[in-house]
Chain A
Amino acid sequence: MTPEPAREKEQSFKVIGKRLARVDAKERVTGEACYPADLSLPGMAHAKILRSPLAHARIRRIDTTRAEALRGVLACVTAADFPAVPLGSTIPMGEVGYDMWMVAAINMARDKVYWVGQPVAAVAAVDQHTAAAALALIEVDYEPLEPVLGILAAMAPEAPVLHEHVFTKGVEPRPKTPSNVCSRVLIARGASAPALAEAAASARLRVEVDTAHQGYLEPQVALAQVDANGFATVWASTQGQFTAELMIARMLALPASKLKIVPLEIGGGFGGKIAIHGEAVAVRLAQKCRRPIKLVLTREEVLQGGSGPAAGAVIDVAVAAERDGRLLAIEGTYRMDAGGLPGLSPSLLMQASAALYQCPNLHLEGFDVVTNKPRTEAYRGPGGIQAAFAVEQAMDMLCQELGLDPLDFRKRNAAVTGSTMPIGTPFPAIGLTTILDAVGRHPSWLDPIGTGAYPRGRGLALGYWRGTSMTSAAHITIAGDGRPMVTMGAVDLSGTRSTMAQVVAEEFGLSIEDVHVETGDSKSVGYSDGAAGSRVARTMTAALVEASADALGQLRSRAAEKLQCAPHLLRYAAGVFRAPPPGSAAISLAELMQATLTDGAVVGRGVSSKLPLGVEIGAHVCDVEVDTDTGLVTVLRYTAFQDVGLALNPTAVEGQIEGSVVQGLGWALLEGFDYAADGRLRNASLLDYRMPTALDVPRIESVIIETPVPNVPYGVRGVGEVPIVPPAAAVANAIARAVGVRVRRMPMTPERVLAAIRAARAQPH
């Protein structure tokens, strides 16, 4: 079992750090939790989306006449029903904003389609059967264009160009011809080429990573209603109600005051529900037919171009070291497959792959490349697992070359607080050395691996993820019985209501049962960025510490008046204000609120907008057995070591780590999109796109380490993203130790493992 984290042994906190059940767990196990698909409205109609059957084509004409004539059809929409969003238009999000031209194209193609499954029209009808029948009656005249599917093919100079307006960013001078390479990023220091040429040992590797999907079990869904005054409400499954509002408003040219997004329970997001996928279409249909509209994507739609999966990649790395293991150089070329529209900058994943090593010479070059496949989106530490699959394997090859223990090698080169990050700035407080020491002492590293029917191996890999902070806002209203009622601007992806109830209970000196937490809609709480980048627990904690202080300050003033005492002389503990002796008069929050109910609301406000980063670091140890007859890899044991700063709730932290690791194992061994030459996805079902079942993975063990982040309330770090970063590399390194081969393509399916084993056997020694 997992060792108890240090924090639980301390008595300094009463609620924080405890293994408390989620405050919303009962409604989940009883089926009462309400997801948007569960909601119906009187007079509600149903929408369906017509999707492109072609991967690359110009749209000459769309005719909806026959569909509109079908009995039961209420409205049809195409791009002509939406104002054109200009190129370069963005909405606020983080440091760079979010490209709205791209969001518009994801939701409704205009003039051109870039992937199979891109929406080209939508229908509202009295029921789903009629809506589906109507789709078949919409006529779309396409001019087919040559699709380009592979990353390397798309980068070739003779490749068909997807976007005439895309000229590679990050290249000087500005290119004169458009390109499928949307951006190029270079991170360099020192001179890596001579270091590689002259080093005692070096390792080189090219890996390929197939596109994978976040695999949230709840498909995208929206319920939209527009009232007689034109005010629109959308009940949504979204990672951010404010981001969704900005996107929908921009797509429809609606003023913000005419739109409200109500986030209901979300059945998993993992990055895939940051952007909207149909919500604005539902609102437009509701406006047109004057009835509430429900849009629920099918699983096939989700997989076949109706949502954004995660980027595939082709990555080359080369690393070099002295004979004693001192790392000299890391070179990497990271080609990321954005799908049909420009994607995320590869900068973060490039930095992440090299961040945990002190290395004098770096040359990391990244490319964001478009292909005729669904536009990819974020997936838990976006790009981290792909880059680690390359770099952490190369490091392992270097260890094998030098005959060094992979853990000693990491200790020898480990980044420490203050050492230089890839971007040239010093590392904030990190506990990598502590993690590596913990690995070295742990049974998962020390126990003999044992023997089985087939060869076994143990792999080690590190992971880093920067995460982000951005903005979180919340307010606390004090109920008539003195209890804090929290409204936060973040949706609850991963137990946020529970951990935030713990924070507020701690701040008020109350128990968790005394605190009520809910997610506000986009009109009832202050602007907050979406739940992404491992930011919510940290930044919402900071916002709620501030909001608690604000509310308690207001309560103190009221108590001072009631107790006839100067406010600063009052002592507050466990829900009671107490005047100093000799009187020692006291008033509880409940009595205080009852006595001052008519004095107006007590509302404490808090916002966090520039919290220091809480970078995430993990080290994973994995034991596998490789069936050399079939290529099947069985994960026997898996242990994840992670510095979480402070575990607000160790059970929740373990839940994040275990789930994240299993997603990583799924991509490592099972999950990959299989595209036909024409751009159709051949495995667009959860039978053929195989996510791990309970039989595919062992019990994941989490070892929680706590190195608090300075200047952050409670020292909390991000948790949820980094555990998906090392698994593929850890498995690959274990396979290499078991059977002596490198499987260079992910997922490492039995077929690919077997091919690698056979190729190695066929090679003359």
Chain B
Amino acid sequence: MKLLLSSIINGAEHSVLVDPRDTLLELLRDRIGLTGTKEGCGNGNCGTCTVLMDGAPVNACLVLALEVAGREVETIEGLATAGELHPIQSALVELGGTQCGFCTPGIVLSAKALLDANPTPGEAEIRQAIAGNLCRCTGYGKIVEAIATAARRLKA
């Protein structure tokens, strides 16, 4: 059995038929084709599927698709506007904060949630904000540096 679901994804309304067993991650990747959100573990431990639900970071693999009915979801595809990268994205590009790239979309969204709430985070706050996002390539240093740089640029 499929159910009809409506929600706002990256600012546009989507009405989709979903299986009640589908997660938000499956809704995004398999039903709507937004494959920028990745699946690293499927049980909320790695953070690669982080998206923003009503502005707050969630693991899309732990949210049922039906839970987002009537709510706003922001994914990595919604961040760059008119081809302009978000400052978090451009700082990651410049400073070498993305390697294999599989964790990057989730990290970008965790960082965005942080900077939306706290425009002047210290290093400890940045590390805390991305502590739910595993990265196996960078050792985190360049990511932390990029988020700090983006915060400075957003404030300026």
Contact = CB atoms under 8 A, between A and B. Distances in A.
Interface in B98-116: 98-105, 108
Interface string A262-276: 000111101000000
B35 interface: yes
A129 B21 contact: yes
B94 A298 contact: no
B101 A685 contact: no
A299 B42 contact: yes
Contacts of B128: 694-695
Contacts of B7: none
Nearest to A650: B96
Contacts of B36: 30-32
A267 B101 contact: yes
A700 B141 contact: yes
A200 interface: no
A257 interface: no
A217 B100 contact: yes
Nearest to B102: A267
| Interface of A, helix, strand, loop or mixed by DSSP | loop
B41 A662 contact: no
Contacts of A652: 96
B137 A25 contact: no
Interface string B5-29: 0000000000000010100000001
Interface in A647-690: 651-652, 654-655, 658-663, 685-687
Contacts of B52: none
B100 A266 contact: yes
A22 B98 contact: yes
B37 A31 contact: yes
B93 A685 contact: no
A219 B61 CA distance: 15
A686 to B, nearest CB: 4
Contact of B136 (A21, A40, A270): A270
A299 B43 contact: yes
A668 to B, nearest CB: 13
A694 B140 contact: yes
A697 interface: yes
Contacts of B41: 299, 685-686
A218 interface: yes
B46 A35 contact: no
A30 B80 contact: yes
B32 interface: no
Contacts of A193: none
Contacts of B45: 299, 685-687
Interface string B108-129: 1000000000000000001110
A217 B104 CA distance: 11
A49 to B, nearest CB: 15
A639 to B, nearest CB: 12
Contacts of B96: 19, 21-22, 651-652, 654-655
| Interface of B, helix, strand, loop or mixed by DSSP | loop
A24 B90 CA distance: 12
B127 A694 contact: yes
B77 to A, nearest CB: 6
B134 interface: yes
A299 B40 contact: yes
Contacts of B88: 29
A33 B37 CA distance: 11
Contacts of A30: 36, 76-77, 79-80, 85, 89
Interface in A684-723: 685-687, 691, 693-695, 697, 699-700
Interface in B44-100: 45-46, 48, 75-77, 79-80, 85, 88-90, 92-96, 98-100
Given A694-B127, A697-B139, A217 B37 contact: no
A493 interface: yes
Size class of B's contact patch? Answer: 35 or more
Size class of A's contact patch? Answer: 35 or more
Contact of A694 (B43, B94, B98, B143): B143
A685 B132 CA distance: 14
Contacts of B89: 26, 29-30
B98 A28 contact: yes
Contacts of A218: 38, 40, 100, 102
B136 A691 contact: yes
Interface string A240-277: 00000000000000000000000001111010000000
B130 interface: yes
A513 interface: no
Interface string A297-311: 011000000000000
A211 interface: no
Nearest to B76: A31
Nearest to B144: A694
A218 to B, nearest CB: 5
A505 interface: no
A470 to B, nearest CB: 22
B48 to A, nearest CB: 6
B44 to A, nearest CB: 8
A659 B139 contact: yes
A402 B77 CA distance: 61
Contact of A35 (B34, B38, B127, B136): B38
Nearest to B29: A38
A37 interface: yes
Contacts of A37: 35, 38-39
Contacts of B38: 35, 37, 217-218, 267
A28 B43 CA distance: 23
A670 to B, nearest CB: 12
Chain A CB within 10 Å — which of B103, B132, B144 has the most?
B103
A495 interface: yes
B101 to A, nearest CB: 3
A216 interface: yes
A31 B93 contact: no
Contacts of A687: 43, 45
B26 to A, nearest CB: 9
Contact of A21 (B21, B37, B93): B93
A579 B96 CA distance: 42
Contacts of A469: none
B104 A29 contact: yes
A31 B139 contact: no
B54 to A, nearest CB: 20
A217 B105 contact: no
Contacts of B80: 30
Nearest to B86: A29
Contacts of A374: none
A33 B101 contact: yes
A185 B130 CA distance: 45
Contacts of A530: none
B124 to A, nearest CB: 9
A119 interface: no
A765 B108 CA distance: 55
Contact of B99 (A19, A215, A655, A691): A655
A371 interface: no
Nearest to A302: B41
A107 interface: no
Nearest to B90: A29
Contacts of B46: 217, 299, 686
The 10 nearest A-B residue pairs measured at CB: A31-B36, A267-B102, A28-B101, A658-B139, A31-B76, A662-B139, A38-B35, A686-B45, A299-B41, A29-B89
7 contacts: A30-B89, A31-B36, A32-B36, A216-B136, A217-B136, A661-B139, A694-B130
Interface of B: 19, 21, 29-30, 34-43, 45-46, 48, 75-77, 79-80, 85, 88-90, 92-96, 98-105, 108, 126-128, 130-144
Interface of A: 19, 21-22, 24-35, 37-38, 40, 129, 214-219, 265-268, 270, 296, 298-299, 493-495, 651-652, 654-655, 658-663, 685-687, 691, 693-695, 697, 699-700
Given A25-B93, A26-B85, A299-B45, 8 more contacts: A29-B101, A30-B80, A31-B36, A218-B100, A265-B101, A267-B100, A267-B101, A694-B140
